[in-house]
Amino acid sequence: MKVNKKPVLYISKSSTRLQIIKKERCMSKKFLYVANWKTYFSYTQSLAWLKKNKQQLDSIGQNNELIICPSFIPLQKLSLALNKTNIKLGAQDCAPELTGAYTGQVSAQSLKDVCCSYCIIGHSEQRIHPTTHSLDSMVVHENEIIAQKAQTLISQNISPIICVGECKLEREQKKTQQVIKAQLEPIVALDLKIMPIIAYEPIWAIGTGQTPTNEQISKAIDFIKKSFQSVNTQEEVLVLYGGSITSENSNILKKIENLDGFLIGKASTDIQELEKIVL
């Protein structure tokens, strides 16, 4: 497949490319805005949305790191449309291995072919039993699959954005850190060449209009950052917050000192709302 856009996160000499990624991360240190479009738009609607809002989006992205994550089918067309803009492209999941028997899934290789620089993995809407207790054996096994996806993405020089977070019951039982620890353990054990991005997304805050307090978010971020202290990639792990972010609460959330960005769901599909959140 022919794509004109120059890949953002890879060149032929992968070690050189890795150095560039690391350098870019160190130099930019911009607040990251990741738009998770979930399944809000069809293929046609995704293209129409971008056509209508491309200029505005590009100017929002001039001084901010803006990443759009549409569903799979529009990726290729959006990749072409975003050529020479400030906006980067991400996917919403990938298969655990580069090739194999994974019916219905999309490989990291295909994501690389269409110039995805990022890929969300482990989103609670994708995990098998998002509402069950995250510590039971099935979900712990799932954490390992998510780590495998992260490894595969990194092999293609795509930055994984790994979602972690507790459900309501786990928060009430004060098990937030225990849950995050179980979700991160297989990731931290990987031989990481690129530091993944972690999104702290408490399940109870997604699409509910409820958000944790800044103190609760900051505590979770601190715990996540400490979990990566032993990982030697010379870069800092970036931690995003996601869950019911709107233009009404974004300025309050931005006061969290150890926060590196937002993972925005529904509000990212409204250009006026997105602009207010970013600017």
Among 266, 270, 271, 276, binds ligand 13P (CB under 6 A): 266
Among 9, 167, 264, 278, binds ligand 13P (CB under 6 A): 264
**Nearest approach, Cβ of 89 to ligand 13P (angstroms)?**
16
Partners of 121 in beta bridges:
162
Catalytic residue among 142, 166, 170, 201: 201
Among 9, 221, 245, 253, binds ligand 13P (CB under 6 A): 245
117-136 binders of ligand 13P (CB under 6 A)? 123
Is 201 annotated in the active site? yes
Catalytic residue among 123, 142, 166, 273: 123
The 90-119 contact track toward ligand 13P, x by CB under 6 A, reads ------------------------------
| Amino acid at site 268 | S
Name which of 18 and 106 has its Cβ closer to ligand 13P.
106
**CA separation for the pair 23, 180 (Å, rounded):** 28
Name which of 221 and 267 has its Cβ closer to ligand 13P.
267
Residue nearest to ligand 13P (CB): 265
Is 123 annotated in the active site? yes
Say if residues 160 and 197 touch (Cβ distance below 8 Å).
yes
Contacts with ligand 13P by CB under 6 A: the residue count is 14
Spell out the residues 6+ positions from residue 234 whose beta carbon is closer than 8 angstroms to its own.
22
Name which of 34 and 95 has its Cβ closer to ligand 13P.
34
Q: Is 250 in the site for ligand 13P (CB under 6 A)?
A: no
Map the chain to HEC letters.
CCCCCCCCCCCCCHHHHHHHHHHHHHHHCCCEEEEECCCCCCHHHHHHHHHHHHHHHHHHCCCCEEEEECCCCCHHHHHHHCCCCCEEEEECCCCCCCCCCCCCCCCHHHHHHCCCCEEEECCCCCCCCCCCCCCCHHHHHHHHHHHHHHHHHHHCCCEEEEEECCCHHHHHCCCHHHHHHHHHHHHHCCCCCCCCEEEECCHHHCCCCCCCCHHHHHHHHHHHHHHCCCCCCCCCCEEEEECCCCCCCHHHHCCCCCCCEEEECHHHHCHHHHHHHHC
Q: Is 207 in the site for ligand 13P (CB under 6 A)?
A: yes
The 17-36 contact track toward ligand 13P, x by CB under 6 A, reads -------------------x
Q: Is 242 in the site for ligand 13P (CB under 6 A)?
A: yes
Name which of 28 and 207 has its Cβ closer to ligand 13P.
207
Q: Is 201 in the site for ligand 13P (CB under 6 A)?
A: yes
156-195 binders of ligand 13P (CB under 6 A)? none
- Active-site positions? 123, 201
Residues near ligand 13P, by CB under 6 A: 36, 123, 201, 206-207, 242-245, 263-267
